[in-house]
Structure 1
């Protein structure tokens, strides 16, 4: 939990041999916060699929005058639907006289059903026929992609890209969801971007070729500077990142991120990540190694605190559903975490966690102009590989458990109000089944919830937060200002603790205004003013309830 400087000093001086029982502020623990480091590869627009227009079958001249008794109707060639599905389109005409034009209208209605269900290449025609019993036939031609032609230079990953795209030709009849899935999975490959165009494959009805034009960005990176830190860890910080993408046939990505507070030695972090594809259905395995050191400054500098954090993580993710409108995926992994802290050369605490975790997340774009996101996850600490034990006296929290279970969830909705105005509402929370070690606590303060406060201003075994943000977007297209977003926000956070030494419940709230701007296609500038509303900042020596001014400059290459 975040504790005021005076409380930390008093506890250390009074505790004597029991100082390891006082939890350190979570903000002091070195690590690269997702709030301070953008993704190296910015999300790009989803790939387009151009579908050729398919006119309805032309009604022959004189069709209105050709009248006959409809005793029944059969739809040949349909493998997608059960036979009774189409009855709704002609049932009202049974045992009545209809015109040939009406029969063409029934064929169009069934073809529309195919298209509405995603079978965009399928056709339904009225074939030539001689009928004596009043039972007429329609012919369903279930469309498919004969081949996928890949154009563009993508390097050594070409075989993997082609293996994704070839899956489209194996689905007969083809559905737009099949095309979307594999085009999107192709675009999920590191550095690969592409779009597709369908065109008729000769004179055969329902057959098409898919032409995919793809490119590869082999390198990308960023440099960032902001002042989102605290007095202890350094208010100003700089991050550098660089990555390579898809140099081999595995569709891999390797990233290096370095972060440093600008104040001497207050925080230094290095992180390496690697991921690659397994198979051609989007399964991805990832690995991460991170090492950070911190020597808190400000009023804590005389205490000579030194902290180290080492993290190794492996994970696997799989996209069960991947479409332009709806996505659902799962991820599971294992974290190996060691955190130590020394006070004037003497051990203060030593936490070792071995955490198995799993997450499921989904996003959905609805017909009301909204984009929705949700995730739910579980983390479980395991008593293996040297994890901290209940008998250890040097844990970050005296009753904190390395053998733990916690649940977490997030939800957000971005609602378009007008062409330029959006409303964002987000929620998040964690429930811990017992007292957690400090690195596993829920945190409020910083960019997620509590923007007017320092990172990890409050922490607890359980907690929740919410943000409401009204956004105005504009794209002037000037040489010095490509686009910008002006916003106003209000946020709230609450934490609960089992720790008898801590407050059972703490809350905070803040509000503010800001602007996010893309000055060019590679340079962005964000400015924000935030006002703490319900409590003073605990870890500030002055201006503890004044408005806060933040900036972030990001250059991407």
Structure 2
């Protein structure tokens, strides 16, 4: 992948313009007209052009140091303050007009409009009026090679950068987004000269990815009561209908048979901005297999989740994305809490989400926010207060910063939180413990209606391969979390330590492409009942 300051396309050869005769003969002008610009106002461009047509007045305020940085800009600004000097008439040459036109062209170039230019059109000067014409670059055609089924998909996304005038930075951004799209292994493009003045042709070459992708894995990402060790697999098929859509299916089963969870999902793009609609069905069944955790009691349960979500980016570039989403989720079934299976409950929940991502030279910011509103639709469970039921309101948020400290150190800091005024059912509570949470404790070892979690980890690369891919990484980390219930009686009845704190070290290795293995050794700094002094979590996964 190219660096962020590289261009993902070849610029077109410069258009050779016929030279107008330059005899140095001067003529008087009293008014300068700049036509054809839709990006900059005429007033803005006049401030750039007029300084090349008049001599610098001797009575300008302040002094200009010819040896100081920014001298040229200082002169431009000083001259621009005297735009009305043309009203009295000034003598200019064709060469000065060309310089003024070139200065306007440079304004476009530095703003990324590499196919736009300013020219001196053939004209008859009457009443001292002179025109400079701006020819803004346009995208004449988008040619796509390497795929037939996804050709329209590629064109529609590149076309987002093709609105007149054509901007190189916007085009680069769209190409980089396509390069990160799982539908493609690679995307390249050349920018060719079009058949009309100022027009260009984008010739894109794409290498479609294998439509069938997946992974198989073995990990410890499961509650102890239903079996800590889990095997799982995910299969995805891309571009099923030729629309850039995606179908996925997954299964995760613990080695004790205590948890069997499945998921099927389908996502289809709605527009070139990557608005999507997603459908999901997730059935599961579980039973307590580790009776030592629950004092000898055995229980089992099931749950079914049906979900639909629409997500629409409002801003989408390679550097920045802001999106909103609206969803609905129906769930019917039990939950596993603290080693026990809860009675079945139905919830009908609307979700309103916002997510934001921003890349910069040092790293990436990611922020997510979601409001969840439990309703009484479709027979959602209703209970008298203070018992939790299907009617509730909560907000959850996440902020993550990935900071590049050096070529070998990548610092990842993350904050997760959930706040609600209500007593929540088990499926909506905030959980702490396990991989991706407070390591060093078992999965979902603590929970509550509200919670906050903080994690800091330093990914230290020890070995890279010839392609600069990380082969071995050490990951020292510190995790902390706090969860609490709104109902004090529930808090007292459970009697659990609400605050978890741990530190430890992880090892990540990827000896061959597609194979990833991680081992995390977590040390709890606050002892809780049933938690060992040191806990080892692992994740072994092969992707294809």
- Cα displacement (A) at 1:79: 2.0
Which sections of structure 2, spanning at least 5 residues, go unmatched? 55-82
1:174 — aligned with what?
A: 166
2:368 — aligned with what?
A: 375
Which of residues 21, 37, 40 in structure 2 aligns to 1:78?
Answer: 37
2:458 — aligned with what?
A: 470
Q: Deviations over 1:114-173 (max 9, x none)?
A: 244443322223456665766543321111111111101353x4444444445655x222
1:18 — aligned with what?
A: none
Report if aligned partners of 1:399, 1:499 keep a CA contact under 8 Å in 2.
no
1:35 — aligned with what?
A: none
Structure 2 vs 1, CA of residues 430 and 479 (structure 1 numbering), >3 Å: closer, same or farther? closer
How many Å separate the matches in 2 of 1:159 and 1:495?
49
Report if aligned partners of 2:459, 2:473 keep a CA contact under 8 Å in 1.
yes
How many Å separate the matches in 2 of 1:150 and 1:101?
42
Report if aligned partners of 2:224, 2:443 keep a CA contact under 8 Å in 1.
no
Report if aligned partners of 1:256, 1:270 keep a CA contact under 8 Å in 2.
yes
Secondary structure of 1:503's partner? Answer: helix
Q: How does 1:51-62 map to 2 (within 5 A)?
A: 51-52=10-11
2:78 — aligned with what?
A: none
- 1:237 matched to 2:230: yes
Most deviating of 427-436 and 205-214:
205-214
Q: How does 1:484-523 map to 2 (within 5 A)?
A: 484-503=472-491, 506-523=498-515
Structure 2 vs 1, CA of residues 60 and 416 (structure 1 numbering), >3 Å: closer, same or farther? farther
How many Å separate the matches in 2 of 1:465 and 1:278?
35
Structure 2 vs 1, CA of residues 547 and 100 (structure 1 numbering), >3 Å: closer, same or farther? farther
Structure 2 vs 1, CA of residues 49 and 490 (structure 1 numbering), >3 Å: closer, same or farther? same
TM-score for the superposition, normalised by structure 2: 0.81
- 1:290 matched to 2:274: no
How many Å separate the matches in 2 of 1:266 and 1:129?
85
Report if aligned partners of 1:226, 1:238 keep a CA contact under 8 Å in 2.
yes
Which sections of structure 1, spanning at least 5 residues, go unmatched? 1-42, 393-397
Structure 2 vs 1, CA of residues 99 and 412 (structure 1 numbering), >3 Å: closer, same or farther? farther
How many Å separate the matches in 1 of 2:536 and 2:336?
33
Secondary structure of 2:379's partner? Answer: coil
Which of residues 252, 266, 270 in structure 2 aligns to 1:274?
Answer: 266
- Cα displacement (A) at 1:407: 0.9
Report if aligned partners of 1:154, 1:192 keep a CA contact under 8 Å in 2.
no
1:459 — aligned with what?
A: 447
- Cα displacement (A) at 1:429: 0.8
Which has more radius of gyration?
A: 2
1:34 — aligned with what?
A: none
How many Å separate the matches in 2 of 1:99 and 1:307?
88
How many Å separate the matches in 2 of 1:517 and 1:429?
30
* Higher RCO (C-alpha 8 Å, min separation 6): 1
How many Å separate the matches in 2 of 1:44 and 1:274?
31
Q: How does 1:77-226 map to 2 (within 5 A)?
A: 77-90=36-49, 92=51, 93=54, 94=83, 95=85, 103-127=97-121, 131=125, 136-155=130-149, 157-165=150-158, 171-176=163-168, 179=171, 183=175, 191-202=183-194, 204-214=196-206, 215-226=208-219
1:13 — aligned with what?
A: none
TM-score for the superposition, normalised by structure 1: 0.79
- Cα displacement (A) at 1:455: 2.0
Structure 2 vs 1, CA of residues 210 and 245 (structure 1 numbering), >3 Å: closer, same or farther? same
Most deviating of 132-141 and 466-475:
132-141
Secondary structure of 1:88's partner? Answer: helix
Structure 2 vs 1, CA of residues 222 and 348 (structure 1 numbering), >3 Å: closer, same or farther? closer
- Cα displacement (A) at 1:337: 0.6
Which of residues 411, 415, 422 in structure 2 aligns to 1:423?
Answer: 411
- Cα displacement (A) at 1:219: 0.3
1:366 — aligned with what?
A: 360
2:245 — aligned with what?
A: 252
Structure 2 vs 1, CA of residues 106 and 326 (structure 1 numbering), >3 Å: closer, same or farther? farther
Report if aligned partners of 1:160, 1:250 keep a CA contact under 8 Å in 2.
yes
Structure 2 vs 1, CA of residues 154 and 219 (structure 1 numbering), >3 Å: closer, same or farther? farther
Secondary structure of 2:107's partner? Answer: helix
Structure 2 vs 1, CA of residues 465 and 342 (structure 1 numbering), >3 Å: closer, same or farther? closer
Report if aligned partners of 2:522, 2:534 keep a CA contact under 8 Å in 1.
yes
Which of residues 309, 316, 328 in structure 1 aligns to 2:310?
Answer: 316
2:350 — aligned with what?
A: 356
1:556 — aligned with what?
A: 543
Aligned length: 499
